[in-house]
A and B are shown apart, each in its own frame.
Chain A
Amino acid sequence: MSKKNWPIWEIFVRSKNGLEHRHFGSLHAADAEMALENARDVYTRRNEGVSIWVIESKNITASNPDNNGELFEPAQDKVYRHPTFYDLPDEVKHM
């Protein structure tokens, strides 16, 4: 067994210019540079990307699904945030 294990990194790939970087998966690497090189071999063998971001997983702060109620439910009764809430005459075709 190695003395120290390589940390885990999250990989984000932009598949083409004009699109955002999207989470593709994760991998282990000794440092950021190696994470980039490994990501290129693991996740872009078939031209899946034009840009890669790597971030060590421990640096990501994630919300807890147990808090989903207080986080996301308040948005559910705010129908006035959606265009369909407003009544307009049929004559106004596109607005």
Chain B
Amino acid sequence: MSKEQIKNLETQFEARIARDEKIEPKDWMPEKYRKTHIRQMSQHAHSEIVGMLPESNWITRAPSLRRKVALLAKVQDEAGHGLYLYSATETLGISREELYNQLHTGAAKYSSIFNYPTVTWADMGAIGWLVDGAAIINQVPLCSTSYGPYSRAMVRVCKEESFHQRQGYEIMMKLANGTIEQKDLAQDALNRWWWPSLMMLGPTDAESIHTEQSMKWKLKRKSNDDLRQQFIDQTVPQAELIGLTIPDPDLKWNDERGSYDYGKINWEEFWQVVKGHGPCNKERMRARVGAWEEGEWVRDAAMAYAEKKQERKEKKVV
């Protein structure tokens, strides 16, 4: 194809998206669209998969059967969400093997929030309430993104996600209304997860390199700072309701803006964690790669068994 032809196709392509048409796997698409989607969608899938690790830490020690079944179901959902997203990414012509490979070698990123440790049961509450809360704010606009398979996967993910946040808030509420020790646990978890949750919504607009193009492709509908503000405005009253204090001395309602003003985010910490120097980066990767490698003989055995069964079936027919 000549440069001019490609330019022409690109113009038509952008016009389709501007008209709110969806792009499907076999449609022509600019290489940059394909690559950007593979990057964002796989990063999303990896986050779901790695996101199971901090929570699975507490499944065996959940304080009651009710909490245990809920946490199990939530972690199972995350596995499911990872799978929806991986298979949606594969429609762009990249194999599952390659996607895993990118995660395991560190070539692909996942949400840096999962590199923080889960040291008490209250962390299960804080993760559901704050981390899933922030994730929902990020994800809801993606239900109408331009790439069909991604948007369909996101519709399913969002439908399932709201139970995650509610179960987390319920845990926090119970602890906050419990003994002094329990309330301290809840406050301590909020103190540790608040700032990383704000960072989870991405670098400030001034530093976000992908925003403009992503807005055009509807991979992003609102800027990181707008999403962050939305998250803060919705979460502060929820904390007040259960008597917990947001760990930000500069947090103040701004009547004029109709929003909360908030303190400075420690972006240095964010970039350190992204670069691999968070408290649990190595541990998470070790667990993930270990699970994959230790499962290899099972995958091979299942394949060998399937082939043997198939051969037997064919023999019978002859």
Contacts and interface: CB of A to CB of B under 8 A. Distances in A.
Contacts of B77: 45
Contact of A27 (B73, B83, B95, B300): B83
B292 to A, nearest CB: 9
B160 A6 contact: no
A3 interface: yes
Contacts, number: 61
Interface in B190-237: none
A41 B97 contact: no
B305 A30 contact: yes
B63 to A, nearest CB: 24
A71 interface: no
B303 A4 contact: yes
A55 interface: no
Interface residues on B, range: 20 to 34
Given A3-B300, A5-B95, A45-B77, A64 B26 contact: yes
B28 A25 contact: no
Interface string A49-91: 0000000000000101110000000000000000000000000
Interface of B: 24, 26-28, 73, 76-77, 80, 83-84, 87-88, 90, 95-97, 101, 152-153, 160, 296, 299-300, 302-303, 305-306, 309-310
Minimum-distance CB pairs A-B, first 9: A31-B306, A30-B302, A30-B306, A26-B87, A2-B299, A4-B303, A30-B303, A65-B27, A65-B26
